[in-house]
Every structure is written in C-alpha cells, then in structure tokens.
Amino acid sequence: MARIVGVLHVSHSPVCSMPAEHWTELRRSRHLRADVPVDSEADQIAKAGRIEAAFAALRARLAEMAPDVLVIFGDDHYECFTFAGFPALAVWVADELVGAAGLPRRPGDIGRHDAATARPVPGHGALGGAIVAGLLRRGFDPAFCTEVDDPAHGLGHAIMRPLLSLTDGSVPVVPILLNCYFRPQVTGRRAYEIGRAVGEAIEDDPTDLRVVVVGSGGLWHTPGADGAYIDEAFDTALLDALRDGKPARMAELFDAYGPDPSDVSQTGLPRGQRHTGMATLGGPQGGTREACNWIAATATVDGRGATVVDYVPVYASPVGLGFAYVSAEEGGEHGPQSTRQ
C-alpha cells in the first residue's frame, strides 16, 4: 500500500528567493498600512538568512523521507485556468508536466512571464488517477488535467517554486490545485475535507509508493492590496493548531475570520479581468487564502503534530512566511499513525 511518509508546509512568496538588498525597493512598490513596522537593513539581512536556513532544513527533511512522489496542494493564479472554466478542485494525471522555473530576484521580476524559463518536470499519472478515483468515491467532483493550455508557461509558481526550492526537479509530482484566489473560493472546512479524502485515496493505492505531501503558499498576505499588513496573531493561531495536529481547528479559525470594516485590504473587487465580482464564503481574502493548501496537506495525516521550523514576518512585502514539517512514518518523532475518525 502507498504510504504518506511526511508532510511539508512552505511559503512560495517571491520574497523567498529575493535577496534582502532588494526588499526596500519591494516595499516602495506596495501600498502598506501606516502601522506596518519597518525592518532595518540588518533585520532584513537576518530574515533573509532565516528563510534560506528554513528551506535548507526542509530540503534535509525531505531527503530523509526519500519520497517516490510529491503531492503538492497549490493554487492557480490565472496561469492554467481562466474564467472560461475555473475549477474549485483539480488534479493533474500526467506523467510529464511543464512549469515556469524562474525564481524572482528583483521586484520587477514578480509576475513576469518568461517562456525561456519553462521546463519539463516528471509527473505521476497513475497516482494522480488513483487520487481522482478516490475523491469521486468519497463524494467529491474533481477536474482532472492531462496537459496545460500554455506549454510556454505551464504550471504556476504555487507548484514550481516549492518543487524547485526543495528538490532538483527529478521527483515526480502530482499537483492538486484548490481555488484559493477567485471568489467564491474553497472554504477552510472544504480544504480539510478534501485533504482527508486525498490521504485516504493515497492509502488505498495498492502500490508501495512513498509519498510526501506539500502545502504550498501563505501565510498572511494580501499582495498588491491597499492597506496591506500582516495579521501575525492570525498566523500564530494557525501554527499553534498545526503543531497540535488539528487541521479541523485550523479550518475553523480560518472560516471564522471576519475583517474589521476599516480593513481595506479585505475589500472585494468589482467584476473584471481576474476578479469575479462574486461574494466570498467567508475567511480572509487575498493570498492569505493559500493557508487552505496547508490545511488540506496536514489533513492527509490528520492528528499528527507538526514541527514549525520558522515563522518569518517580512514587512517589506508584507507577508508572513511559514515553514513546517510532519514526520508521518511509524516510529517517527510524532508517534504512531493516527486513527482516522
């Protein structure tokens, strides 16, 4: 039987690959709330070092887990899907994928489409198909994808940045995309339910695959919004629930969030290109909704507590960067396999 041998949680913000010397320039391009702290140059250099160390720690853990395949929960930023048809849940079932491999080094690189950086990466169509079948058996209706519409770009940074930051790109990957950005988005509760179902579908697979699940994105950030800031208390509460192995609690906290009426960073946008104009189902808006990818990933091993490697609030962006892992094998540091409810 296939086994989930670990779970990694990692932010994929452009600032993760951007040298600290460019962070001040990045801040000037944002529309931050007046009370967002200003890091000194020394603070920024120290934080950049912590980010690098956190990625190194996760790469080492992943090497110890020795996966045959990665299952990455991410989201699509209008890269593979458009409003001609935007699924709430999609699974890739291909043996070869293509994605944008460039990592932003300066603020001007963010969002830049460079076909020259597109590269192939191995997929795992068999496991992807097993996950689709397992989701259907459990009452979900996933879209399945065998190719990308634009091979010059392919999969977006929610999949490619963690893949190429944590591996050399040789480990096969099954991307699972949740609609985190475009209203009405997947709720925290639905992300939890999807994650549990994916975990069960992996465990039902008759192969002896070693699987590592990755939650990509977050934590708190509203990129490009007016009045952007970091709600560090919100991030802390999610991380506490993650440490306790309680993804359902993470989902509850996420869905219960209600913004202050004065928080313009949470204001909905009118219908237009990349904005549906539809109502939200609750919870924080913007990139913060990528926390649903973390909820889904840790729900695949529901009940297992995580080790938080670091949490780095980068005020220049602003974004709360999180890095964590769960060791899920028998006898691992977080105890025996949990019993599913």
CA–CA gap between residue 54 and residue 56 (Å, rounded): 5
259 by DSSP, 3-state: which?
A: coil
pLDDT exceeds 90 at position 340: no
77 is catalytic: no
Model confidence pLDDT, tens digit, residues 180-232: 999 999 999 999 999 999 999 999 999 999 999 999 999 999 878 999 999 99
CA–CA gap between residue 222 and residue 81 (Å, rounded): 21
Round to the nearest angstrom and report the end-to-end CA distance of the chain: 20
| DSSP strand pairing (319-327 vs 307-314) | antiparallel
pLDDT exceeds 70 at position 257: yes
Model confidence pLDDT, tens digit, residues 39-62: 999 999 999 999 999 999 999 999
CA–CA gap between residue 302 and residue 255 (Å, rounded): 18
CA dihedral sign, ordered 196, 198, 200, 203: negative
pLDDT at position 36: 97
pLDDT at position 154: 87
CA–CA gap between residue 43 and residue 49 (Å, rounded): 10
pLDDT exceeds 80 at position 92: yes
Domain 3-110+119-327 maps to which CATH number in 2.30.40.10, 3.90.1720.10, 3.30.420.10, 3.40.830.10?
3.40.830.10
Model confidence pLDDT, tens digit, residues 145-184: 999 888 878 898 899 999 999 999 999 999 999 999 999 9
Q: Which of the following is catalytic: 22, 124, 153, 334?
A: 153
CA–CA gap between residue 186 and residue 296 (Å, rounded): 11
Q: Which of the following is catalytic: 12, 124, 157, 221?
A: 221
- How is the beta sheet containing 3-10 ordered, strand by strand? 143-145, 89-92, 173-178, 69-74, 210-216, 3-10, 319-327, 307-314
22 is catalytic: no
CB 33 within 8 A of CB 227: yes
